[in-house]
Amino acid sequence: MIKTLEHIPLEGELPSPKGAALAILEACRRDDTTTAEIARISQTDPALAGRLIRNANTAANGRRPVVSVTDAIMKLGTGTVRNLALGFSLIDQHHAGPCRGFDYDGFWAQSLLGALAMQRFSAMAGIGAAEELFACGLLSQIGRLALATAYPGPYAELIGQADAPGRLATLERERLHTDHNELTAALLTEWGLPGALVEPILHHECPDSAPFLAGSRPYQLTRLFHLAQRVGGLATAVEAERNRLVPELLLLGGRIGLDAEQLATQIDEIVRNWQTWGELLNVPARALPGFADMAAAPSPGNAQGPEQSGLRVLLVDDDPTSRALLAAALGDTLGHQVVTASSGEDALVAALQFSPQIVITDWVMPGMSGLDLCRALRAAEWGKKMYILMLTGLDAREDVAEAFEAGVDDYLGKPVDLRMLRGRLRAAAHYVQLLEAWERDRAQLREFAAELAISNRKLMHAAMTDLLTELPNRRSGLESLSKAWAAATRSGQPLSALLIDVDHFKRINDGFGHAAGDLVLREVAAALQAAARKDDVACRLGGEEFLVICHNADLRSAVSAAERLRKLVAGLKVQVGERRLALSVSVGVASREASMTDPDALVNAADKALYGAKESGRNRSCITIQGRLRCFS
C-alpha cells in the first residue's frame, strides 16, 4: 500500500519542481488543460524545450524527426512531459546540497543511466510507453535525494554506516521512521504519477517480495525497474563493484531473453546514450569499459596465476616479531599466500584489496581490536564469507563466547603451536572448499536460469508468430491493435486498419493443392511486409485473411497504402509446377472515428469494407465512412 506524504513523518523540506516544471505540474492537474497550453509553458524554458524535443526524437526510432515543442508534446503525451519536466527541474536544482555524505552528481549519474536502461528494456519487452518509463526511471530513487534534503546531517551518518542499498533502507526505517522507497512512492503519487507505475517502483529494490501475480504487468515492470537500477549502478561503481554486478546483470538479462552478447550490445548502446544525455543535463557520465570487457575481467582476489597455490591468508598482529615468525610459518612452511597488517584499520584496507579466504588476527591490539575487526568484516557483504581465526591468550568462557558472538569461526591460544595451527587451517580449508563448491553450484543454477529464460522467450515468440508466413499471428496482431488504439487515444493521432483477403483462395487450394496455397500465402505475406510503412504492423489473422495496423495514418493515407499493396500483389506471378498463377487481393479500409468505442469497432468497419470489396468484384479496395461504402479499383 502506498502511503501519502501526510502519513510519513518528515521534519525538513523536500525537493520540489520550480519554474516551468511547477507550472506544467499544476496545469496537468486541471481537466481542461490543452497541449497548446503545455507547449506555451514549456517554451518559456528553452532548456526544457530542447530536452523534450531530444527525448521525443530518441523515442522516434528513425521516424520523421520532431522539430517543435508542440510536436514533441503530441508525441510524448502530457503525462510523460510532466514527468520529464519534474526530473529535469530536480536535476538542475540539486547538483549539490547540504548533505555531505550524499554524492549528488553520482546520484543523478546513476538515475540517468537507469532511466535510459528502463527506456531501452521496456521498449524491447513491449510493456509500456518507453518515453514514460524513461521519466519514471529517472525519478525511481528520488526518495534518497528527499531524505538527504530533509535530514542532511543524520542521513550522512546513515550513508556512512550502510554497505548495501538494502541495509540503507533498514537504517532509514530505524532512524527516520521511513525509507527512500516509501518516500519515493509518496512523492510520485503527490506529483500525479499513476499508481500502476508507482507500485512497481515502490517494490523494485526487492522484486522477489513484491505482492504481484507472476507474469502480470506490475510483476514485469518491477523486475524491469530492478534491472534498470542495477545497470544504473555501473555509473559510479569501481572495478571491484562492477565485477560483482556483472554476473547479476547477466542473470537479470537472461530473464528478459537476452544472452550475454545481446546484453553487452544493449548496455554499450545505453552507456553511449547516457554520455550524450549527460552533456545535455550537465550530469557527469564517465567513460566505462565495454560490457564484454567487464564480464571478462577477473573478480578481485580470484586472479590467481597457475603458479600460485594454497589459501589466501591475511595475518593481523601488532607485534612485529610474532607477525614475522607466523607469516614465515604460514608461507614458507605451510605454503599459503600471506598478506600481513599491523593494525585492525590496515587489515580492513588489505582485506578489501586482497580478498583473503582466511583472516588470522590477534585479539588485543591498540586502536581497533581483533574483535572490532571481526565485527567490521561481518558487517560488510564481502567479509561474511571469510573464515576468521582469533589468536588469544584469554581462555575464560565469557571471552570465548563473546568472540563467537562477534562472528569468529575458531580461536587458537598463544603462543601458537604449529601443529595446532595446521589442524585449524585444515578445518578452514574444508570450509573454503565447501564455500567454493556452493558458489560453483550457484553459478550453474544462474546459467540454467538464464538459459531457461531464453527458452521461455523463444517459446513466447513462437506463440505470437504464424509459423507459415513468419508474420505475427492473430493473438499478437490484436494485442498490437489494442496498444495502437491506446496510443492514439493519448496522442490524438489518427489510426487506420486494413483487412486483406486473398481472392479465390479456395480455388487455388482445390485446384493445385495445399502446398500451392501455402506458397501463395507466403508470397502475399512478403508483399505485405514490402508494401507496409516502417511503423505499420502486419499480421495473419487466419486462413487467407491478413490485418495491417497503420499508425498515424488518416483515411487518405490508408487508402494509398491499400492500393499500393493491391497493385503489388496483382503484379505477382507464383510458379506452381508448370503453371504461373496470377494473384489478387481485396482490401477493406477503415479509420478510427469519434463514434468508435474500442478496437473491435475499427476491425468491424474494415471487415464491412472488405465484404463490400469482394461483393463489388474483388481485386479492389473499399472504405467505410460513417457506415457508407466506397470502392476503388
Render 84-151 in DSSP notation, one character per residue: HHHHHHHHHH-SS-S-TT--HHHHHHHHHHHHHHHHHHHHHHT-S-HHHHHHHHHHTTHHHHHHHHH-
The secondary structure element, H or E, covering residue 9 is none
Are 372 and 345 in contact by the 8 Å Cβ rule? The answer is: no
Nearest Cα to 176, choosing from 159, 198, 164, 163? 159
Q: What are the Cα distances from residue 99, in Å, to 46, 103, 342, 466?
A: 30, 9, 34, 57
Residue 277 identity (one-letter amino acid):
W
368 φ, ψ to 5°? -80, 115
Task: Please identify every residue annotated as catalytic.
Answer: 544
Are 166 and 206 in contact by the 8 Å Cβ rule? The answer is: yes
- Coil, strand, or helix at residue 546? strand
Q: What are the Cα distances from residue 288, in Å, to 104, 214, 252, 267, 274?
A: 19, 35, 20, 11, 11
What does DSSP say about strands 579-582 and 410-413: parallel, antiparallel, or unpaired? unpaired
- Coil, strand, or helix at residue 81? helix
CA 426, CA 422: separation in Å to the nearest integer? 6
Looking at the chain, the number of H-run helices and the number of E-run strands are 26, 13
The secondary structure element, H or E, covering residue 620 is none
Q: What are the Cα distances from residue 265, in Å, to 58, 108, 141?
A: 18, 23, 26
User: Which single residue is written with the C-alpha cell 527525448?
Assistant: 55
End-to-end Cα separation, the chain, in angstroms = 59
586 φ, ψ to 5°? -110, 140
- Cis bond leading into 415, ω under 30°? yes
How many degrees, rounded to 5, is the angle at CA 411 between CA 408 and CA 415?
145
CA 138, CA 110: separation in Å to the nearest integer? 9
